[in-house]
Amino acid sequence: MQKNDILDVEILDLTHEGQGVAKVDGFVFFVDNALPGEVIKMRILKLKKKIGFGKVEEYLNYSDKRNHDIDAAYLRSGIADFGHIVYEEQLKFKRQQVVNNLYKTAGISDVTVAKTIGMENPLAYRNKATVPVRRVNGQLETGFFRKNSHDLMPIEDFYIQDKVIDELIVFVRDLLRRFDIKPYDEKEQTGLIRNLLVRRGHYTGEIMLVLVTTRPKIFRIEQMVEKITQAFPSVVSILQNINDQNTNAILGSTFRTLYGKEAITDKMLENDYDISAQSFYQVNTEMAEKLYQIAIDYSELKADDVVIDAYSGIGTIGLSFAKQVKAVYGVEVVEAAVEDAKKNAERNGITNAHYVVNSAENAMTQWAKDGVQPNVILVDPPRKGLTESFIRASVDMSPEKVIYISCNPATMARDIKHYEELGYKLKKVQPMDLFPQTHHCEVVSLLERIAD
């Protein structure tokens, strides 16, 4: 076999990121936009020792699980890498990922993994967009990078983004063209405008626009602001972020307020939140509310309970149930997020939530010394999961329950194995589809302390 050979192959499986899997003469091939059961003519793009990468030249037959109503651009850019799979199958696939990880990593097969909770309308749900601005064929464009590249694909309808956000991005793109603002060029390190960041409140409709630039001065910015706010009265915040570094980081450290407020507000489970440009706030408000409600239901909270909210962010989970319990203790390493959490507690009249800037392990060790005895510890870690020292520190506090919210079923399964070794038992597992049309899967799990 050589590069550019064309072979007839059957797709046997799907990777967790949505690539089709084929086998030929001991080689495993990964193929974009190919589903199990499909037979294709595959062009070999790349060969390694035992694996290869191919692309579809022709479909000889289609899977009945294929969604034909999607533009291939969304697959090529990674915006919707599961968009070619009918939605019911996406939900089944995500549940199976959780089942497989629990069995392979933790040896658990005696706990029922519930069906994935999905959305009634699994499109246009994202309340936040980060869109690069580049020159394509001599013209300023907004869009998304082709997968594994920095080649911009011009896109106007982002498929999974709030439609008002899409409209604003196109409007700003046209303004930038009209005012002859130069887009950023990574190779040459020239141009002014790098990215547009937009956030929109799901319930309030308030919009924040952030213009990410390479230097402070923006020509005729006052006129641009006036045109944007006239066309979109719900834009209540326009910020400039200056990022003059040659880096993949989207935001720099300096912000300037060009118009209105420094943050927008939105609601989640009846609480109001201030959301700044840098706040971590779930991008799918409708499903985040369901996720948090399941975490609350699993906790079976009582009025005299003490809850630790590790990785507390701006307080969205802990503040959702603070009024039902005696006290909430939250910890987060990002100082700005902790300040936001304190403000959000005050904003909602919550006086029994206490937030600190620290690593979760150190905070729990200190709280234990201070005599804090949690009934429930709620964790929502980043993709890499929990550290062993965190797991030990949490077990040392002997909570009755650990509620684990995960965005990575593989690291969650690894961590659950540690908890089971230290005297906790997995009781419930609920996959949630916070990111429809993509391979990402969120999971809520309940662990209970085994009685001595």
Q: What is the pLDDT of residue 83?
A: 93
User: What is the percent of the chain with per-residue pLDDT over 70, rounded to a whole number?
Assistant: 100
70 pLDDT above the threshold of 90? no
CA distance 64 to 93: 15
What's the alpha-carbon Rg for the chain, to the nearest Å? 24
Q: What is the pLDDT of residue 78?
A: 81
Question: Average pLDDT, whole number, for the chain?
Answer: 95
pTM to 2 decimals? 0.92
CA distance 95 to 432: 9
**pLDDT, tens only, 226-254:** 999 999 999 999 999 999 998 889 999 99
Q: What is the pLDDT of residue 329?
A: 97
**pLDDT, tens only, 301-316:** 999 999 999 999 999 9
432 pLDDT above the threshold of 90? yes
> Could you tell me how many helices (H) and strands (E) the chain has, helices first?
10, 22
Residue spans of the domains in the chain: they are 6-66, 94-119+283-449, 128-268
- Catalytically annotated residue among 42, 75, 407, 434: 407
Beta strand 193-200 with 254-260 is unpaired
CA distance 30 to 81: 14
Q: What is the pLDDT of residue 76?
A: 81
CA distance 173 to 291: 35
The torsion angles phi and psi of 397, rounded to 5 degrees, stand at -85, -5
- Is there a catalytic annotation at residue 441? no
CA distance 412 to 399: 18
What residue spans of 19-71 are helical by DSSP H?
Answer: none
Q: Report the 10 Å Cβ neighbour count for 360.
A: 25
109 pLDDT above the threshold of 90? yes
Classified by CATH at the fold level, domain 94-119+283-449 comes out as Rossmann fold (3.40.50)
Decide whether 6-66 matches 128-268 in CATH topology: yes
**pLDDT, tens only, 17-41:** 889 999 999 899 999 999 999 999 9
452 pLDDT above the threshold of 80? no
Q: Does 2.40.50.1070 match the CATH number of domain 128-268?
A: yes
264 pLDDT above the threshold of 90? yes
Please list, residue by residue across 367-400, b when 16 or more beta carbons sit within 10 angstroms of its beta carbon and e when fewer do.
bbeeebebbbbbbbbeeebbeeebbebbbebebb
Instruction: Over range 110-117, report the average pLDDT.
Output: 97
6-66 has which CATH code?
2.40.50.140
Q: What is the pLDDT of residue 164?
A: 98
CA distance 70 to 122: 13
Instruction: Over range 48-71, report the average pLDDT.
Output: 94
Q: What is the pLDDT of residue 183?
A: 97
